[in-house]
A and B are shown apart, each in its own frame.
Chain A
């Protein structure tokens, strides 16, 4: 399901942003990126990336849910009965997602209309359950919280990159502002309709993985 995380050795008192904690936060941005390396959360990466704005909101939503579900699960990890641990995780995740959904409906109605079902689908985003199982169940609250933020940001980074390509070439705009000038359309430039369809996201993610693997030595020949 996901990459193994380093087991935490017994430490006495470590600073909030110790080297290890910083690594927990930054690793998901590259070395163990949830989308391009762990290959989690692809489904929503295809769905919400036609424009940059929903991608950013989705990224924030997933980051928030991942961070707080990791935190809560890590806090209660010793009390969770082993036999129902997945159900407990799911309940916590569903609780947080529902709250995010309600908040969006109350304060960012346009965005909530655009994201519609995808907010609810954060619950099934593999990143969240994956990190809960792989990290939060065995780690202290603070590193877990950082891991959630790191993974949310790693996911969000890919989402925004993909969305920038898709919005720029698919609609000629970024964040809703026209980028491609009218004279280019007059000269015969046409927006690429494929960019608006889900397969375009797969192509872009694929190329990103290619680029990342050719550059990052750690990812070469791990299979």
Chain B
């Protein structure tokens, strides 16, 4: 049997050694990890404008060539000196709408048309969900959407990250005929709602909480941009 003293010293030494090893590993790998996270974000933005490629270099090239980043506020003013890519959406959503910094990505397609990509962040069942939705030049019709999640249940809530769910959004509209904001709702197919088909998509059976989270996220995150869109239009 080892003495108490030996046991204590052993425990402390072991902790210190593992801590040092982990600190070195984490620091050494950080640049590669940060690059991956940035690339993942760029890929997500491009997915929302119906880009399907997966090759690293191609994504970087396309993003640099055709995406313009800017930050606006709810009053529709363009804010200068802020890196849109570095804005943490989660922190912005905690602020009142007027004070938020709203990142916006403008993608110019090969056809010369602009698509406005709005980043979104919300809450699923087990953790955060997020996504990007791109609007046509009328600031109303959805061109494409991309969603992702941290830890939703595979086969249920995690379906939001799958193509069939995301494809539903194409062609949907955020405004009604009188230019009022209606949003695109994620609802049960059978739900009796007075919503035009162009304002709703089918939710996921078995993934109700994630569907509701997506619904809230769409409503909350797109609306603040109306100020900017109104200004650009006029």
Contacts and interface: CB of A to CB of B under 8 A. Distances in A.
Interface of A: 50, 79-84, 87-88, 91-92, 94-95, 98-99, 102-103, 105-107, 109, 113, 116-117, 193, 196-197
Contacts of A109: 33, 36-37, 39-40
A91 B14 contact: yes
Given A99-B22, A102-B26, A196 B10 contact: no
Contacts of A94: 18
A121 to B, nearest CB: 12
A77 B11 CA distance: 14
Given A98-B22, A109-B40, A82 B1 contact: yes
A116 B127 CA distance: 12
A155 B155 CA distance: 24
Main secondary structure of the interface of A (DSSP, over half): helix
Contacts of A50: 154-155
A84 B11 contact: yes
A171 to B, nearest CB: 11
Interface residues of B, number: 24
A107 B56 CA distance: 13
A111 to B, nearest CB: 11
Contacts of B151: 116-117
B150 interface: yes
A102 B15 contact: no
B29 A102 contact: yes
B21 interface: yes
B4 to A, nearest CB: 9
User: Among A91, A102, A106, A196, which residue has the most Cβ atoms of chain B within 10 A?
Assistant: A106
Main secondary structure of the interface of B (DSSP, over half): helix
Given A83-B7, A107-B32, A88 B14 contact: yes
Interface string B1-34: 1100011001100110010011001100100110
A88 to B, nearest CB: 6
Contacts of B22: 95, 98-99
B21 A196 contact: no
A103 B29 contact: yes
A99 B25 contact: yes
Nearest to A79: B10
A197 B18 CA distance: 38
Given A84-B11, A197-B155, A105 B29 contact: yes
Interface in B39-93: 39-40
Contacts of B39: 109
A106 B155 contact: no
A105 B15 CA distance: 24
B126 to A, nearest CB: 9
Contacts of B26: 102
B149 to A, nearest CB: 9
Contacts of B150: 116
A165 B32 CA distance: 35
Given A109-B37, A113-B40, 13 more contacts: A50-B154, A83-B2, A84-B11, A95-B22, A99-B22, A102-B33, A103-B29, A105-B33, A106-B32, A106-B33, A109-B40, A196-B154, A197-B155
19 contacts: A79-B10, A81-B6, A82-B2, A83-B7, A87-B11, A88-B11, A91-B14, A91-B18, A95-B18, A95-B21, A98-B22, A99-B25, A102-B25, A106-B33, A106-B36, A107-B32, A109-B33, A109-B40, A117-B151
Nearest to B37: A109
Contacts of A103: 29
B191 to A, nearest CB: 23
A68 to B, nearest CB: 12
A105 B6 contact: no
B165 to A, nearest CB: 15
A83 B10 CA distance: 11
Contacts of B33: 102, 105-106, 109
A87 B10 CA distance: 11
A196 B10 CA distance: 46
A84 B10 contact: yes
